[in-house]
Amino acid sequence: MYLQEAEEKIKKLSDIPFSKLFSEDDIQSIIINKGKTGQLLELALGKKLDSSNLDFDDGELKTNKCDAYGEPKETVFVTQISSIIDELLMEKTFEETHLYEKISNLLYVPVCKDGDPHSWKFFMPIHIDLDRPEFSDLMNIWREDYYSICRQLKNHVETSPDGFIHTSNGKHLQVRSKDSRRSDGSYNAIYSEIYGRYVSNKNHAFYFQRQFVFDIRKMMGI
């Protein structure tokens, strides 16, 4: 399924209470596992869940918790960095990166989670395609953020007392820790082939900060 088709389907699902979209079991599962909201949306679109690198044939779906006015309540997870740490530390060309693949064509869907879960609802989606001229300013921001974060991470590795990467911020993008303990209590450390050592004792990930949502809503006149 392509993003354009998904966008049209989501528009038809927007502003409809979850109680009319999902079963009671589904709603209870969303309460327990907040990350399942996006998966249920994909199923509602008629898409089978799989382990593909992208959610759709030509791009990504990103859901995010918002209030009744569409204002973001959380940051937006993008992708973990353990497998791409060296391309960040060597400042691989932005347009050739895994990060670019994940954000160059995406469908942002706000999810209003105010009140009882049965009344939660999806809001109208925003389709961002960096190939389109109207998103050139966004492309510039994300490119600058990427290179800035790459430099920050490299500086942390080379100068911080522990030799580890730490939270690094751009205007929209951010890298910060995201990990869960293994059964033995340890985290998923990040190893750099470039430096020949571990550069973090736990996994990290790219996120969109809340400013990203404020700015795209302004761009779209929302």
Q: Three-state secondary structure along the chain?
A: CCHHHHHHHHHHHCCCCHHHCCCHHHHHHHHHCCCHHHHHHHHHCCCCCCCCCCCECCEEEEEEEECCCCCECCCEEEEECHHHHHHHHCCCCHHHCHHHHHHCEEEEEEEECCCCHHHCEECCCEEEECCCHHHHHHHHHHHHHHHHHHHHHHHHHHHCCCCCCCCEECCCEEEEECCCCCCCCCCCCEEECCCCEEEECCCEEEEECHHHHHHHHHHCCC
* pLDDT tens across the length of the chain (222 residues): 899 999 999 999 999 999 999 888 888 887 777 667 888 888 788 877 666 778 888 999 999 999 999 999 999 999 999 999 999 999 999 999 999 999 999 999 999 999 888 999 999 999 999 999 999 999 999 999 999 999 999 999 999 999 999 999 999 999 999 988 888 888 899 999 999 999 999 999 999 999 999 999 999 888
Overall pTM surpassing 0.85 (yes/no): yes
> Which residue ranges form the domains of the chain, and what is each CATH number?
3-219 (3.40.600.10)
